[in-house]
Amino acid sequence: MRGSSTMISGNYGSKNALIVFGPFLIIVILVTSIVIFYISSNIVLTELGYKLIKLENEKIALVEENKNLELAAETLSALDRIEKIAYNQLGMVRPKEVKFIALNPVAKLNFGNNIGAISNNYEEEKNFWASFDLKKINDLISGILK
């Protein structure tokens, strides 16, 4: 009988140890998990901060490059530069006299309440006629062909 009582007390001691150390192990595992989660989230935030700084630097560089490209476009499209290229490389010259035909809007007669009144309201219809002289047109065409 003695052997059985030692056996029972041995089982009872291991159960007490499990009862005492079980919650302790659970708390240690829980705290360890929280610490690991906290550290990993800080690592992720640090990496995102570095990416943000890198993207802001790239943005600044692209804005500067855009300003340089706009300046280059303005420089290349300057009228003086284009005129010099047209004169020096293409042999173009400015015309001495410019002839053109002016188109005047047609006055419309109002047949409403004011009979015979001439309307200057050109928004309703866009009827145009050209005032021309055949001699002027011949001069214009010959000037273009020269």
Give, for all 146 residues of the chain, the pLDDT tens digit: 444 444 445 566 677 777 778 888 899 999 999 999 999 999 999 999 999 999 999 999 999 999 999 999 999 999 899 999 998 998 888 878 777 777 766 555 545 555 444 445 544 444 444 455 667 777 777 777 76
The DSSP code sequence of 30-91 is HHHHHHHHHHHHHHHHHHHHHHHHHHHHHHHHHHHHHHHHHHHHHHHT-HHHHHHHHHHTS-
Strand extents, DSSP E, the chain: 103-105, 108-110, 117-119, 128-130
CA distance 112 to 143: 47
| This prediction's pTM | 0.42
